[in-house]
Amino acid sequence: MTLFGFARRIRKPAADFRADAIVKQPAPQPDDKPLGSVKKAVIRLLHVYFALTRGMTLGVRAACFDAQGRIFLVRHTYLPGWYMPGGGVERGETASEALEKELREEGNLVMTAPPDLLQCCLNRTASRRDHVLFYRVTVRQTAPRLPDREIAECGFFPLDALPEGVTPATLRRLRELETNGPYPDLW
């Protein structure tokens, strides 16, 4: 059974959706900066929408390293902190296609070698049904990525000189990469 076949089999129709599955909010992290009430409402509405239209959400996220061994990180306009690039896998899209698309959109990045799938994690901070495929990949940037409505800033950073505000989950993934695992089931 492939991972993609597995994802299709566990998707439930909207009729099987339980409303209580989206009521609980994740506990705030100590480094979280307050989001504006409008941004919180938009994020919450998106989670409700995805809960009603999808039985499970699947995303990709990658630790992207350049030839100098630096990690590529992004800072979004709608969330505090620095993250590894990634995003959702859309219907009819493979995980590989989603990964390629997200790297291109968030950083003008192209893969120089096939990605290594390290783990499929449950991301309970987003919802109880959000899964993330975590990859390690070597990349090159085709052009500088300019800020826009989604990405405030991005760049390559030496592992010993990360920007202030890297999220706790990103720091955990970087420590796991440094020791070559183990990679936990929970994001």
Give the C-alpha distances (Å, rounded to integers) separating 78 from 68, 84, 98, 166, 174: 30, 15, 21, 15, 23
**What tens-digit pLDDT sequence spans the chain (187 residues)?**
334 343 333 333 334 333 333 334 444 444 445 567 787 788 778 777 766 776 788 999 999 999 999 999 999 999 999 999 999 999 999 999 999 999 999 999 999 999 999 999 999 987 888 999 999 999 999 999 999 999 999 999 999 999 999 999 999 999 999 999 999 999 9
Q: Strands 151-157 and 86-88, how do they pair?
A: unpaired
Query: H helices within the chain, ranges in order?
Result: 3-10, 37-53, 95-107, 168-178
Alpha-carbon distance of 34 to 169, in angstroms, equals: 18
> Which domains does the chain show, CATH number per domain?
57-187 (3.90.79.10)
Q: What is the Cα–Cα distance from 176 to 136, expressed in whole angstroms?
A: 11
What is d(CA 143, CA 146) in angstroms, rounded to the nearest whole number? Answer: 9
* pTM greater than 0.75: no
Six-digit token pair at 152?
A: 């405030």
CB atoms within 10 A of CB 5: 9
How many residues appear in the chain?
A: 187
What integer pLDDT is reported at residue 43 of this predicted model?
Answer: 78
Q: Distance (Å, rounded) from C-alpha 181 to C-alpha 112?
A: 23
